[in-house]
Amino acid sequence: MLLDPVIDRVDRFLPRAVAVVATFGAIIAIGAGIAALYSTTLRRETDRLVEAAPNIAADIESRGDRLGELARTFQFADRVDDLMTRLDEAVGTGSDTIRSAALAAPAYFVSMILTIFFLVFGHRIITGGLGQLSLARRARLTPALASATCRTQRYVWSALAQSAAVGCIIAILAVWLGAPAPVLIGLFGALASLIPYLGVLIGSLPLLLLGLGVAEVWQVGVAALVVVAFIVVEAVWWQAWIHRTSLYVGPAIPLIVAIVGSAVYGIGGALYSMALAVFALALFDEFDADPADLPTPLDDFDGDDRHAEVDDAAPSWGAERGSHA
């Protein structure tokens, strides 16, 4: 669903088969780069953060101001120690990364083949499935599926663009504050920002907390102002634009789905579960006018109804959202 518009654009300049191969070549190159980044930079920055964070937390607790008092009340140093232990175990070693990548290679290969198959024959499969429905049902479901797909594509690509921007800004602020592991801090901010409205705030907490222990108070204040400005821009302008061009997705469903997906299948499960949840919301939103019109396996179809003329009074799903189709 997400790659199809990319391939369609490349297809304007290249034959479709070449466009598919070129797109997947780029995906493989990006995946190899991410794997190399993970096994080198991320592991190195995790070691730096695991070593430096407890000392920074202890320095914050030793402060004589209100901030130090709050840190001691919440046992900030002990909590940071526990968190760094979990982080160190979750990231693993470089050999663990290579071994897990080798074990996952067959699954990635099969997934790539299936993705290519659906990119080539997906439209025929969907058309064939819709052909099993009556004309009336088909007339309602076809534009709903098309509109929901388009709205999901727009939302997910917009969310990824926001995630990249937030991650870069937080990483730059971490470098300016002198915080350890700026890439890791930026990555956490990028992933957290996928949660609408709340994600930027959650993703900036490690930056601000670590900044209190390594930078001047005024620097942390400036970083906080930048974060607040980004939160305001997201809430007032960016999310409103996404709502107008795709659909509204609040913070609750992505957060719950991400937690469940992460528990089942790690960070990949969280990301793909969020994308599927957005598609489900977009599809349900197409039927919000009358949920009873959703086709179900229990519907009774007259044998001749599939070839009957569509009732003129039947509503046309997606007519109100023609701009999204």
Tens of pLDDT, residue by residue, the chain (325 residues): 888 888 888 888 888 778 888 888 888 888 777 777 766 677 777 777 777 778 888 877 777 777 777 878 887 778 887 877 777 766 665 555 566 666 767 877 888 888 888 888 888 888 898 888 888 888 888 888 888 999 999 999 999 999 999 999 999 999 999 888 888 889 889 999 999 999 999 999 989 888 887 888 889 899 999 999 999 999 899 988 998 888 889 899 999 999 998 888 878 888 889 999 999 999 888 876 454 544 444 444 444 444 444 444 333 333 344 343 3
| Cα–Cα nearest to 277, from 105, 103, 123, 159 | 159
Six-digit token pair at 12?
A: 């304007």
- Specify the pTM: 0.73
What is the four-CA torsion angle of 43, 46, 52, 58, rounded to 10 degrees?
A: -160
Amino acid at 130: L
- How many beta carbons lie within 10 A of that of residue 105, not counting itself? 10
Q: In 3-state terms, what secondary structure has residue 11?
A: coil
Instruction: Give pLDDT, residue 117.
Output: 85
- Domain positions in the chain: 1-125, 150-290+314-325
Instruction: Specify the amino acid at residue 40.
Output: T
> Which residue, 312, 307, 286, 5, is CA-closest to 143?
286
Contact 317, 286 (CB under 8 A): yes
- 190 residue type, one letter: A
